[in-house]
Amino acid sequence: MKVLFTGATGFIGKTFTRVLLDSGHEVFAWVRNISKANEVLDHRIQTVIHLDDLNEQYFDAVINLAGAPVADKRWTDSRKLLLRNSRIKLTNSLVDYINGLEQKPRVILSGSAIGYYGSQSAEAFLDESAETVAGFQHSLCADWEEAALQLVNDTTRVCLLRTGIVLGKGGGVLGKMLLPFKLGLGGPIGDGQQMMSWIHIQDWMNACMFLLTNESLSGPFNLVSPNPVKNEKFSKALARALHRPAVFRVPCFVLKLAMGDTSELLCKGQRVFPERLSAAGFQFEFDDIDSAFAEIL
């Protein structure tokens, strides 16, 4: 399979491109800076900075994961614009390119997030058909999905990847959490009752390969473990895996002062379930938080 990839230099992208290459697929990456991309990507990946440099060659699949990090900085007006442009504007450019091809890809996997549902109570059961709560998280994901759905046609199916918290080695959420927890300074956030819908990176990769090869599947899919946990349980499980205490608690008002509206990502949450993946027969390797941390750490 010949695959066009955006977001290849990110934490998930670097891992997934290696999985594709090791499975015998040919990968092309659309990047912003070729020299920097080539420093971190597998040498087998062909990188381009302009889509026109691809010379309108045929791709079996497109995987669109590009987007600036959501949690790294305050959600100022300029940051929100950057987050939208790095996802929606880029996806629209990808749509224009693909629509201009004589032969269209058979499948598109396009990024989204469980932020699509907005911040919800710990009791709300959220499958792919759940009602949403308005706010920046929802509008960002909904508009990103709408842009990708422009590619649906008689020969191309689009799968929307509503991804939760991805746990794996060398980056992501754990990359930021490990040091304070290793020092014994970790613990729950606020009252610890907000839900965390997570997925082991291996299950994320397996789910995407499942969606790539199962031609009957399209539309939104929640890429999360079937067992979301409260923040307090997540924190204690991480501390237990590191043989450290989890006694420090970070008040949400402190995070609000430090991070502004971005603190919503830490102090609120969503209880999301992978209903459509499970109904299609997908099997998780790491479906509980303790087994996930045991493998990673």
The CATH number of whichever domain residue 29 belongs to comes to 3.40.50.720
Measured CA to CA, the distance from residue 174 to residue 172 in angstroms comes to 6
Q: Is residue 21 part of a domain?
A: yes
Say how many domains are in the chain.
1
Q: Could you tell me how far CA 227 lies from the centroid of its own chain? A: 17
SS3 content of the chain, % helix, strand, coil (to 5): 45, 20, 40
At residue 176, the pLDDT reads 87
- pLDDT tens, the chain, 297 aa long: 999 999 999 999 999 999 999 999 999 999 999 999 999 999 999 999 999 999 878 999 999 999 999 988 999 999 999 999 999 999 999 999 999 999 999 999 999 999 999 999 999 999 999 999 999 999 999 999 999 999 999 999 999 999 999 999 988 889 889 989 999 989 999 999 999 999 999 999 999 999 999 999 999 999 999 999 999 999 999 999 999 998 889 899 888 988 899 999 999 999 999 999 999 999 999 999 999 999 999
pLDDT at 258: 86
pLDDT of residue 247: 86
Evaluate whether residue 53 is within a structural domain: yes
Classify residue 162: in a domain, yes or no.
yes
Between helix 136-148 and helix 77-84 the angle, nearest 10°, is 20
Q: Is residue 294 part of a domain?
A: no
Does any domain span residue 231?
no
Q: 184: Cβ–Cβ under 8 A, 6 or more apart, which residues?
A: 244, 245
Q: What is the pLDDT of residue 56?
A: 77
pLDDT at 166 (0 to 100):
97
- Whether residue 247 lies inside any domain: the answer is no
Model pLDDT, residue 257: 86
Q: Which value, in Å, is the radius of gyration of the alpha carbons in the chain? A: 19
Report if residue 263 sits inside a domain.
no
Examine residue 39 and state whether it is found in any structural domain, yes or no: yes
Q: What is the extent of the structural domain holding 129? A: 2-171+197-225+271-286
The pTM for the full model equals 0.95
